[in-house]
Structure 1
Amino acid sequence: MSQPIKLIVLVAALPGRGAEQIAAFEALAPLVRAEDGCLQYDLHRVADDPDRFALVERWASEEALAAHDAAPHMVTADAANKAFRAGPAEVVRLVDAPVS
């Protein structure tokens, strides 16, 4: 059995357009959370910058993440995000740190 996939996705909106990022997330989140294998999908705003965000994602498997990336609502959202994003998102894949 594969380990869950954990991601932090760092997103920057164009100056003054953070509210558009939040609105886009609010529309997309129910669709993503309903996907098979979605364990977590939460957006957080950076404390001192209303236009920067961290999206926390957890997926049950590589297959679930691949299906998510190819889902029609994600393809549509990725295209629409270009209107208010400062650039591409930075995806950081996490692994558990060994506990001593």
Structure 2
Amino acid sequence: MSQPVRLHILITTQPGRGQDQIDAYERLAPLVRAEQGCLQYDLHRVAGDPDRFVLVEQWTSQEALAAHDATPHMLAADAAGPAFRAGPAQVLELSAEPVA
């Protein structure tokens, strides 16, 4: 049986462009949450910094995540991101079990 995949994605926008990230997320979230295998898709702003975010994702399997990455809406979002992001997002895949 496949283990769930947990991701924390660190996003920094260009100065003053945080709202662009929020707007993009609000358009994308309903589509992503409707995908088969999506367990969680939540954007959080870093406290005290309007241009930094953490996207928390959880998927039922690596296969579900791979299918998500290949959807037309994700390909379009990936292409649009450089217009307002300060650089590439940093994707952190968490281990299946907590350390302690």
TM-score range, shorter chain: over 0.9
Following TM superposition, by how much is the alpha carbon of 1:53 offset from its aligned partner in structure 2, in angstroms? 0.1
* One-letter amino acid of the structure 1 residue matched with residue 36 of structure 2: D
The aligned counterpart of 2:60 is: 60
* One-letter amino acid of the structure 1 residue matched with residue 65 of structure 2: L
Q: Percent identity between the aligned chains? A: 68
Instruction: Kindly indicate whether residue 84 of structure 2 is the aligned counterpart of residue 84 of structure 1.
Output: yes
* One-letter amino acid of the structure 2 residue matched with residue 86 of structure 1: A
TM-score by length of 2: 0.96
The aligned counterpart of 1:31 is: 31
Unaligned runs of 5+ in 2: none
* One-letter amino acid of the structure 2 residue matched with residue 80 of structure 1: A
User: 1:82 aligns to what SS in structure 2?
Assistant: helix
Instruction: Kindly indicate whether residue 47 of structure 2 is the aligned counterpart of residue 43 of structure 1.
Output: no
The aligned counterpart of 1:97 is: 98
Unaligned runs of 5+ in 1: none
CA distance in 1, matches of 2:66, 2:49: 31
Following TM superposition, by how much is the alpha carbon of 1:48 offset from its aligned partner in structure 2, in angstroms? 1.2
The aligned counterpart of 2:14 is: 14
User: 1:50 aligns to what SS in structure 2?
Assistant: coil
RMSD, aligned CA: 0.7
Give the number of aligned pairs. Answer: 99
